[in-house]
Structure 1
Amino acid sequence: MAISVFDLFSIGIGPSSSHTVGPMRAARMFARRLRNEGLLEKTATVRTELYGSLGATGHGHGTPKAVLLGLTGDSPRTVDVETADARVEAIKAEGRIDLLGEHEIAFDFDKDLVLHRRKALPYHANGMTLWAYDASGAELLSKTYYSVGGGFVVDEEAVGADRIKLDDTVLKYPFRTGDELLRLTKETGLSISSLMLENERAWRTEEEIRAGLLEIWRVMRECVRRGMSREGILPGGLKVRRRAAVSARQLRAEGDAPAHAMEWITLYAMAVNEENAAGGRVVTAPTNGAAGIIPAVLHYYIN
């Protein structure tokens, strides 16, 4: 199978690629399917049930918020993280949700979004089912989705390794292991980055590739900047205080001597991790849990 760099490094929000990004994408997929099948205007109520790990730890991972935002049409890549919490609170308070921003319906947060702490679906720990009903209570559509990690989502029709459609794009320099990659660089004389660029051309032009990578780097830089400038208590109920901003002030006061290089690397990663925990914009790299590592290394290289 072939995997693009843009599959591994995707722009999303925190705190979890499997518990936040995936459910938001799944809810949006469901709402868009309602529209595509001509059912959106007939929909009077929508119900979502979260199972397994999504149900057990969903509140701590912001899964309910992600589902509501996905139903309104938001994607993890573009959702406004500054207004997201306020919009979700408005849905809860008003008892209304605007599907895809096109069709407003009644929504009872306590009844229409259920987290099953001890129930699981058969194919994966991160399962969720959504139903849409008309005004008479008749079912219009139901779909089950699995958030399988890294923000990837599959529906019930594509579960099991024998049923998931792998990307069979033919790459110029295919490899399966690190040893094979190094062998190809020796045989071709290409650097790893140049060889990977040639493979990426199977999906996009070089201009599109470079523009996409620069956008990923822009989001990483902005995430570090925000994390190093914000203070307060992180959400989640554990009363964890942000530390990156305080550490940044201390390191700046001590100067940028090479002796502090490791402290700066730790700080860059911590800044991203705190933004992730706060539900901010991050780059899944390749999961939200590891989102701070590559930005930290790149900031070290540049600075």
Structure 2
Amino acid sequence: MGVYVSALDLFSIGIGPSSSHTVGPMRAGADFARRALAALPGRVTRVGAVLYGSLAATGLGHGTPDALVAGLAGLAPETCDPAAVRGAWSAHPEGQVLLLGGVLPVAFAAADVVLEPRVRRPGHPNTLVLRAWADGADEPALEKTYESVGGGFIRCVGDEPAEPVAPVAAPREAAAADLPVFRSGAELLARCRGGRTIADVAWAHEVAQREPADVRAGLDAVWAAMRACVEAGTTTEGTLPGGLRVRRRAAAMRASLEAAEADGRRTGSEWLQVYALAVNEENAAGGRVVTAPTNGAAGILPAVLHHYWATEPGASREGVHRFLLTAAAVGSLIKANASISGAEGGCQAEVGSACAMAAAGYCAVLGGTPEQVENAAEIAMEHHLGLTCDPIAGLVQVPCIERNAIAATTAVTAVRLALHGDGSHIVSLDAVVETMRQTGVDMSDKYKETSRGGLAVNVVEC
């Protein structure tokens, strides 16, 4: 099926503050619990984990150990109460057992999760090793290595093929018979010849895996979760957790813009910034968010989609679906040919990818041709090349929250530029994605979600 990742997997409903450092480890914990219970039925007596590299370096700020332990206890990011995750490790009572998979009491202490920030394992920088002991033996009876590869996706090393994060229905033979497979932006545009749109190509892939009604319901659920996140973010005040004492701003900005509009003043693109701030403040607080395609960049696509919904007279449910499907096709290309992981490619891989996806979706619903959509995505990505990931104190707050607001505006600007052209341009989306990949390879590890460079070391935490 080429490189396409279902929109219902790429846009997964989960919790903050990080898709790779929170959602991924929770899924790894839950997956390991299932494996341990199946391989060692009733025999597991203890579990433990080691976090390596970026997962360990910023794990405390991202709540990684809490999320991992919550996953071991059987919680899932899609359905859990976010409050049940906070403190699952950090507040675990000394001497109290852990219910593995929610069913089997096993010995566990906070010290059983070990952080090794200076050790980088072969493969992905976001690596964790999970172990289970059985029958009181000294050596682990089961050990699995997981990689949290960005966007909440995980790989269990040694599994062939790599297991998807979420269960996907088996391909439906009738729908898959003439599937428009693509592996590059050029191939995607070629599949659109004859009047097909990028959303049409994505739809063909979706219905090859799920019933059409299920796809539509899934896209509706994603959009509903995005709206709920914006509503929560624009009605909640206070200070974000984590020690930086970052003040929430979205609610106050919403009130200010509503007052301005009541007085007849134009607020322009400022609502874009409110929407993005709202989502990322909810994410930083560990609330319910949609990974799009990561949590650190989760505010960009919902902000632009809200902008479409609020400003376009012809906005519709079908338009929302077209937006999300188009964005998923572009996100699939980036994920396959470069990365959406800040630990792999820096923030260009997260915010840059999200900006490109949002630009593609918005251009599509404004009537852009496939060539204009590809151009909009390229412009958006191009102007994020080299962007580092250097969160202060390892928290997804500074500069992450404001960065989403700026990138949402950039996405809209990229669309306006693309729509003034005919789709022809010098730099292709494929070229800019490959450049992003190469830049990520060349980028120092201290600028890749480790908080060992940039703003993270040049701004005093206070």
> TM-score, with normalisation over the residues of structure 2?
0.60
Note the alpha carbon deviations across 1:245-275, whole angstroms, 9 max, x for none: 1111111111276831311010001100111
The alpha-carbon distance between structure 1 residues 158 and 42, as it changes in their structure 2 partners (threshold 3 A), is closer
SS at 2:141 equivalent: strand
Determine which of 217, 221, 224 is the counterpart of 2:223: 217
Change in CA separation of 1:300 and 1:176 when aligned onto 2, cut-off 3 Å: same
Would you say 1:240 and 2:242 are equivalent positions? no
- Show the counterpart of 2:295: 288
What pairs up with 1:23-34 in 2 under 5 angstroms? Answer: 23-34=25-36
Which residue number corresponds to residue 130 of structure 1? 130
| Aligned counterparts, 1:54-133, within 5 A | 54-85=55-86, 91-92=92-93, 95-109=96-110, 111-133=111-133
Aligned partner (choices 3, 6, 9) of residue 4 of structure 1: 6
Assess if the C-alpha contact under 8 Å between 2:144 and 2:157 holds in 1.
Answer: yes
1:300 to 290, 298, 307: 307
Relative to the length of structure 1, the TM-score reads: 0.90
Moved over 4 A (4+): 86-90, 163-171
Q: How much does 1:181 deviate? A: 3.1
Native 8 Å contact 1:27 1:71 kept in 2 = yes
Partner of residue 231, structure 1: 237
Q: Which runs of 5+ in 2 are unaligned?
A: 311-462
- More displaced stretch, 264-273 vs 165-174: 165-174
Amino acid at match of 1:137: A
Q: Which residue number corresponds to residue 262 of structure 1?
A: 269
Q: Corresponding residue for 2:352?
A: none
Aligned equivalent of 1:14, options 16, 23, 33 = 16
| Per-residue deviation, 1:156 | 2.0
- C-alpha change, 1:284 and 1:135, in structure 2 (3 Å) is same
- Listed as ranges, the matches of 1:151-166 within 5 Å are 151-158=152-159, 164=162
Structure 1 counterpart of 2:149: 148
CA distance in 2, matches of 1:113, 1:40: 23
Deviation, 1:238, is 1.5
Bigger fraction of residues in strand:
1
Deviation at 1:31, TM superposition (A): 0.3
Q: Which residue of 1 aligns with 2:196?
A: 190
Determine helix, strand or coil for the equivalent of 1:203: coil
Query: RMSD of the TM alignment (CA)?
Result: 2.4
Cα distance in structure 1, aligned partners of 2:99 and 2:259: 49
Percent identity between the aligned chains? 47
The answer to whether the Cα contact below 8 Å between 1:72 and 1:101 also exists between their aligned partners in 2 is yes
Q: Structure 1 residue 137: deviation in Å?
A: 3.0
Higher relative contact order (CA 8 A, sep 6+): 1
Are 2:258 and 1:252 equivalent residues in the alignment?
Answer: yes
| Cα distance per residue 1:108-151 (max 9 Å; x no partner) | 11x21111121221111111111111352342211111111111
Paired letter, 1:244 = A
AA aligned opposite 1:147: S
Change (3 A) 1:258 1:31: farther
Give secondary structure in 1 for the equivalent of 2:57.
Answer: helix
What is the DSSP-based 3-state SS (H/G/I as helix, E as strand, rest coil) of the residue aligned with 2:129? strand
Q: 1:293: Cα distance to partner?
A: 1.1
Residue 90 of structure 1, CA deviation: 5.4
What SS does the corresponding residue of 2:266 show, helix, strand or coil?
Answer: helix
- Whichever residue aligns with residue 293 of structure 1, its letter is I
Q: Deviations over 1:226-248 (max 9, x none)?
A: 11111222122221111111111
Instruction: Name the CA distance, whole Å, in 2 between partners of 1:31 and 1:117.
Output: 24
Aligned residues between the structures: 297
The 10-residue stretch of structure 1 (252-261 or 235-244) with the greater mean CA deviation from structure 2:
252-261
